[in-house]
Amino acid sequence: MPQVKTQDFFDASALSIKDPELRQALQRVGTGFDKARREAIDEVSAEVWEQWREVARQIKEHTIDHLDYYLELLHDNVNKNGGQVHFARDAEQANAIVADLVKSKGVKIVTKGKSMVSEELSLNHVLEGLGTEVYETDLGEYIIQLADETPSHLVAPALHKTKAQVAQLFTDNLGVPYTDDIEEMARVAREALRGKFLAADMGITGANFLVAETGSLVIITNEGNGRLCTSAPRIHVGITGMEKVIPSLHDLAVFLRLLPRSATGQRLTSYMSMVSGPRREADEDGPEEFHLVIVDNGRSKMLADPKLRESLYCIRCGACLNICPVYQKVGGHAYGWVYPGPIGAIVTPSLVGLKQAKDLPFASSLCGACREVCPVKINIPRMLLHLRQELTENSEPTVNSIPAWESILARCYTAIMNHPTLLSMGTKLLKLLQMPLARNGRIQRVPFAPLSRWTHSRDLPALPKRPFREIWRQELSGPNQSHQ
């Protein structure tokens, strides 16, 4: 399990806001991914898009409600194809399964496609500990592997890096001459990994979808690394969360229409690869063995909670990250674990523990933009509120303590607003106090903190001569006036 730094969210986000390179990189998320997403939706029309969302939502709702049935169907059909299914209760068990395969099959070199689940497991470190060479092959993952960092976005793991930073990484780690020309850097990565792809004993990928009907694993990719990891080595291992299954191959179509558009605005990625077992006898090439490792690691807890179950519908498109005003400012690393952004604010506490990640459900203004863009219509704000409620009601007072002054202020406010005479006296007092400060109905400067900071760049409205209560009583609600 990668180090959990969720408890540092406030400090980490305070730092990221001040990082100019990170801010610049994050700005591209709005002008890049999100803009492309909106264009892709306009192209098919909002009506069609909404239909697709609704269909996808129904499929996920149905599947998750019968998850055990579909996982069993998937298991049987993968076996029928000649593949093997391994169920892993937690990270430790999942790592043990893969480590066993590596040891028993004499695996020396592993090429890896992008898998967020494998980040949950810290799988790379486990395999490297066995003396295996592990190469991340997705360019973004390759970059952060060289930097010994974790991904900061679901779809573009190296989003936070500038081209200069990548250029330096390549020079330092690959011994190539420094160049920040992006095309040249992609070529460097291609050359560096070519030999590894073809020499690898085992390819490890994630899964975007698992089709129960045909026992298939589906990945959508752009670079070609996914295809190479599933075609060149003699063993292919797919690692996935247990929520990725869909019932029928028929259902795959709507998800292929929603996911690329939501993630990067593409109509379809360069490649969609569907693995249905190891190679058949007559095939010219392909892996001799296919292993599917299905990981729980806390997902069954989310499944059991009817208020959190919806978070299992997530197809990991990243659209909620791209639209979130919080993510756009603080970036992925501040969230402190594998899954950042709005969906991360629900999934991470569920998987690492709510107390450990208590700040994450509060890392939101509840603006609801995430719910609007989610291709499977997950109601993220409702779940954030649910988690907030859990934290405030079920925890010890110290877990989420409110500062004393806020508590006192809230109590005074309640008292005043509940007693009309107190309110009346209070406003008369304030009118007296504001006299030296109010000019033409506005207060431009308050000489003491904290209001001095507030009025540094804003005016406060002054209390009016006659409060509305008085106008109402004297003029608007007399016996001669009609009112309901």
Nearest distance in Å: CB 440, other proteins: 50
**Binding test (CB under 8 A) with other proteins, winner from 5, 66, 309, 329:** 66
Cβ atoms of 264 and 316 closer than 8 Å: no
Nearest in space to 143 (alpha carbons), one of 95, 182, 99, 91: 182
Our finding on whether 331 is near other proteins (CB under 8 A) is no
Residue 278 or 344 having the CB closest to other proteins: 278
HSE-CB at 9 with a 13 A cutoff on CA atoms is: 24
Nearest distance in Å: CB 422, other proteins: 57
Nearest distance in Å: CB 204, other proteins: 16
Our finding on whether 224 is near other proteins (CB under 8 A) is yes
Cβ atoms of 70 and 392 closer than 8 Å: no
Residue 88 or 326 having the CB closest to other proteins: 88
The β-bridge relationship of strands 442-443 and 271-275 is unpaired
Amino acid at 276: S
Residue 159 or 462 having the CB closest to other proteins: 159
Our finding on whether 48 is near other proteins (CB under 8 A) is no
Our finding on whether 231 is near other proteins (CB under 8 A) is yes
**Binding test (CB under 8 A) with other proteins, winner from 6, 16, 77, 150:** 77
Mask 83-122, x = binds other proteins (CB under 8 A)? ----xxx---------------------------------
Give the whole-angstrom CA distance, residue 437 versus residue 320.
Answer: 45
Nearest distance in Å: CB 423, other proteins: 54
Q: Contacts with other proteins: how many residues (CB under 8 A)?
A: 87
The pair of structure tokens assigned to 76 is: 């049987």
Our finding on whether 340 is near other proteins (CB under 8 A) is no
The neighbouring-strand residues paired with 321 are none
Give the whole-angstrom CA distance, residue 290 versus residue 268.
Answer: 26
Question: Helices 420-434 and 404-418: crossing angle, nearest 10°?
Answer: 110
Name which of residues 135 to 194 contact other proteins (CB under 8 A).
137-140, 143, 156-159, 161-163, 166, 182-183, 185-186, 189-190, 193-194
SS3 207: coil
Our finding on whether 73 is near other proteins (CB under 8 A) is yes
Nearest distance in Å: CB 187, other proteins: 8
Our finding on whether 283 is near other proteins (CB under 8 A) is yes
Residue 332 or 361 having the CB closest to other proteins: 332
**Phi, psi for residue 30 in degrees, rounded to 5:** -75, -50
Nearest in space to 294 (alpha carbons), one of 53, 49, 40, 97: 97
**Binding test (CB under 8 A) with other proteins, winner from 78, 200, 275, 315:** 275
**Binding test (CB under 8 A) with other proteins, winner from 285, 393, 396, 406:** 285
Give the whole-angstrom CA distance, residue 332 versus residue 343.
Answer: 12
Nearest in space to 272 (alpha carbons), one of 212, 205, 322, 213: 205
Cβ atoms of 247 and 58 closer than 8 Å: no
Nearest distance in Å: CB 393, other proteins: 30
